[in-house]
Amino acid sequence: MHSAPLPTWLRWQRVLNEHWPSGPAYLVPVAPAPIPVRVGVVWATDGREWVDGLAVRWTRDAVMVQLDEPRLGPLATWFAPHDVARRDASLPVEVIVRSVTDPPGHDQQAHSVGVAASPPTDSAW
């Protein structure tokens, strides 16, 4: 019996626009409350696509997004902030982030980084 190959959306694919933070990723704290986001993912086979996920860690230059996505081997990966947008447009268009360069225990030092309230149109991305 010959079986058909799995569709591409069911097979692991490399994320081409993965973007790691400039500092050590293991030092970036986990968010106390994940933020619902939509991330623009560039898949190796399927191309560009907006996928819903949760921002679970972030810095000035990178956002870790947890995706429930069969094409992604690990459950989360890092993206550039310009690839990530909040799903709830009624929330402020800022994300409070802590720089990976802040010393440990320096919780009061936070920075505001603009994040799109909603994803741009496909032609703008």
Among 32, 37, 34, smallest CA distance to 89 is for 37
The 8-class DSSP code of residue 83 comes to G
Q: Summarize pLDDT for 5-20 with one digit per residue, the tens.
A: 555 656 778 899 999 9
Its pTM stands at 0.66
Buried b (16+ CB within 10 A) or exposed e, 103-125: eeeeeeeeeebebbeebeeeeee
| Residue ranges covered by each domain of the chain | 8-114
Rounded Cα distance, 40 and 120, in Å:
10
Q: Summarize pLDDT for 100-114 with one digit per residue, the tens.
A: 333 344 443 333 344
**Hey, what are 120's tokens?**
């741009």
